[in-house]
A and B are shown apart, each in its own frame.
Chain A
Amino acid sequence: EPEVTQTPSHQVTQMGQEVILRCVPISNHLYFYWYRQILGQKVEFLVSFYNNEISEKSEIFDDQFSVERPDGSNFTLKIRSTKLEDSAMYFCASSGTTIDRVSYTFGSGTRLTVV
């Protein structure tokens, strides 16, 4: 089955630094998403991206965050001036126009540790 690929699998950064998390969505998907999961907590929606713009975002997704699809294959999440509380697993997902087995797939995640 097609996969969503995320890199790196684990990133450690110092507080105040900028990080870029990378994702390669499934090639024929149209929507792209970022979710995060703080250790021991729920998976939380951050943002969805469609047609080269943000289609929906949560309250968590403030000015510290930005997303970009710089080319035809990559989808990135940039976190500026990281804080300790940004430490979490970040999951990328992509989907077609409906949610079904093939059409909504998550990557394996990037564990971000802010020290």
Chain B
Amino acid sequence: DAKTTQPPSMDCAEGRAANLPCNHSTISGNEYVYWYRQIHSQGPQYIIHGLKNNETNEMASLIITEDRKSSTLILPHATLRDTAVYYCIVRVAYSAAGNKLTFGGGTRVLVKP
């Protein structure tokens, strides 16, 4: 699985958009970009994933650069409940050996009132 680099922490104002960058310069053609978050020691929660097109769901938007070497997770209107550690993970969608997820340090996002 390709390595990802994320800033260790960032603050965001409540109600504003939060833009979380992730660098994955060694991503290969069949690897997806996945975003998970972990709220205060709860189990990781899936947010969104994408291959090369931008994606949007009710939680967030994912913008992937044309060369796929980096991406940005956008929380459009951050709330206090979005305070969490956000993980960017790059891997294939399916592996016959199993589908483990490799978590890095993530970005600790603090949403402030």
| A interface residue numbers (CB < 8 A to B) | 4, 31, 33, 35, 37, 42-45, 48, 50, 55-56, 58, 89, 91, 93, 95, 97-101, 104-109, 111
**A101 in contact with B46 (CB, 8 Å):** yes
Residues of B within 8 Å of A, CB-based: how many?
Answer: 25
CB-nearest residue of chain B relative to A97?
B94
Name the segment of B2-10, B35-43, B61-69, B70-78 touching the other chain.
B35-43
Judge whether B86 is part of the interface by a CB distance below 8 angstroms. no
**B42 in contact with A109 (CB, 8 Å):** yes
**A100 in contact with B46 (CB, 8 Å):** yes
Chain A interface mostly: strand
CB distance from A50 to the nearest CB of B (A): 6
Chain B interface mostly: loop
CB-nearest residue of chain B relative to A48?
B98
CB distance from B47 to the nearest CB of A (A): 9
Q: A45-B101, A48-B100, A99-B34 given as contacts; is B43 within 8 A of A91 (CB)?
A: yes
Bound-state CA distance A68–B27 (Å) is 35
Judge whether B93 is part of the interface by a CB distance below 8 angstroms. yes
CB-nearest residue of chain B relative to A44?
B103
A43 CB contacts on chain B under 8 angstroms: 38, 44, 87, 101, 103
Judge whether B15 is part of the interface by a CB distance below 8 angstroms. no
**A100 in contact with B49 (CB, 8 Å):** yes
**Contact flags (1/0) for B92-108 with A, using CB distance below 8 Å?**
01100111111111000
Q: A42-B105, A97-B94, A99-B32 given as contacts; is B99 within 8 A of A109 (CB)?
A: no
Bound-state CA distance A45–B57 (Å) is 27
**B102 in contact with A45 (CB, 8 Å):** yes
Some 11 contacts from A to B, beta carbons below 8 A apart, are A33-B98, A55-B97, A55-B98, A56-B100, A58-B100, A98-B93, A99-B32, A99-B49, A99-B94, A106-B43, A109-B42
B49 CB contacts on chain A under 8 angstroms: 99-100
B45 CB contacts on chain A under 8 angstroms: 106
Bound-state CA distance A100–B46 (Å) is 8
A95 CB contacts on chain B under 8 angstroms: 99
Q: Which residue from A33, A98, A108 sits with its C-beta under 8 Å from B100?
A: A33
